[in-house]
Amino acid sequence: MNANLFPPKSAKTRVVVVDDSALVRSLLAEIINRQSDMQCVGTASDPLVARDMIRELNPDVITLDVEMPRMDGIDFLSRLMRLRPMPVVMVSTLTERGADVTLRALELGAVDFVAKPKIGLANGLQRLADDITEKLRSAAGARVRRLAPGAVLGAHASTASTATTASTATTAAKAAQPQPAAVPRLGRSDSDTVIFIGASTGGTEATRVVLSQLPEDCPAVLITQHMPPGFTRSYAQRLDSQCRLQVKEAADGDLVLPGRAYVAPGGQHLSIERGGGQRAPYIARVRDGDPVNRHKPSVEVLFESAARVVGRNALAVMLTGMGADGAQAMRTMRDAGSYNLCQDEASCVVFGMPREAIARGAAHQVLALSQIAAALVERLRCSAGLALQAR
């Protein structure tokens, strides 16, 4: 056996860059090699070259463009995650113009993504250097799982244009996604209770898993998922097509109603305030502002408002993600009377935010992703029973 087939792991994170643009390959390699803990061990201009390079160099993580010659990135990603799963960060102009393609990539197992700027590519990528390298570090330590063969149906179609790629990806995602199993209704509409979800790396899929298992008469759900502008509307639409709840991108002044879920817009903070009357005692607030914990939207902002406004009528869920955004505010929520769930390490893509929340004593339960929705429903049923007894 060739001794170079699996070179020994070094202390540095080994990255392979896959992009059809020579300029982007050069810029990303330069950004990566400036980091003391990273090394760009190879660059590839198309997936077929990348395939051989991955076999030879055994990198810790790869960056992957979407639209490339000989095989598009979505097709390559689906094959990679089925045959040789490894951490992948999508880096492409196409991902910003075609959010559906990015979301499809995340469904197929990509850990995260960075959108290349539309103009001023060289300067733009340099401005994104910290974001790129942070996501590569996080991805290198992420848990990736082998993609089931059935999940890649429709992913191998070659496309000739951005619009066609996005359309194909959306159709493929819907075809590959099983319809949610029937969940018994709660039997009562509760406008006082609100569920709050915070997530980052790996959270787009984790949030979908939770929401798809909630009944249509569930209390309102407010979600902060770390995403840049231009993606959250498509993400909300995708969730809406796959869940019983009505899901939308939050707008300032939205009535927070049972049976609906609201996703924080990329680049803006989401919070909750009182107002709206008896039918809807809460409204959503969407505002600009400085990043909090380096994020906008920030889970900290959402959870802090939940503690202040909703108090003991709140349920909070912290899903997979890097960093500590929202951890302290989740503890504040618990102190205000909320009931809190954290995703466990084994089912997280990145066990950062849940770990920090647990360390602060914020969690009542630590559960596998597959158990979180059922635990929420059980808690809601128990709370409804107690409320009826009290009358």
**Distance in angstroms (rounded) separating the CA atoms of residues 184 and 384:** 15
Cβ partners under 8 Å of residue 6, min gap 6: 58
Contact assessment for residue 165 and residue 72, using Cβ atoms and an 8 Å cutoff: yes
b/e per residue 200-210 (b: at least 16 CB within 10 A): bbbbbbbbbbb
| Strand 282-287, strand 269-274: pairing | antiparallel
Residue 325 is among the residues annotated as catalytic for this protein: yes
Contact assessment for residue 77 and residue 47, using Cβ atoms and an 8 Å cutoff: no
Catalytic residue among 226, 254, 269, 338: 226
**Distance in angstroms (rounded) separating the CA atoms of residues 75 and 201:** 22
Contact assessment for residue 8 and residue 33, using Cβ atoms and an 8 Å cutoff: no
Residue 226 is among the residues annotated as catalytic for this protein: yes
3-state secondary structure of 214: coil
**Distance in angstroms (rounded) separating the CA atoms of residues 347 and 352:** 12
**Distance in angstroms (rounded) separating the CA atoms of residues 106 and 100:** 10
Dmax (CA) for the chain in angstroms is: 75
Contact assessment for residue 97 and residue 53, using Cβ atoms and an 8 Å cutoff: no
Tokens for 363, please give them.
């969690």
**Distance in angstroms (rounded) separating the CA atoms of residues 194 and 325:** 20
**Distance in angstroms (rounded) separating the CA atoms of residues 76 and 306:** 42
Catalytic residue among 45, 78, 92, 200: 200
Catalytic residue among 100, 254, 325, 344: 325
The residues carrying an active-site annotation are 200, 226, 325
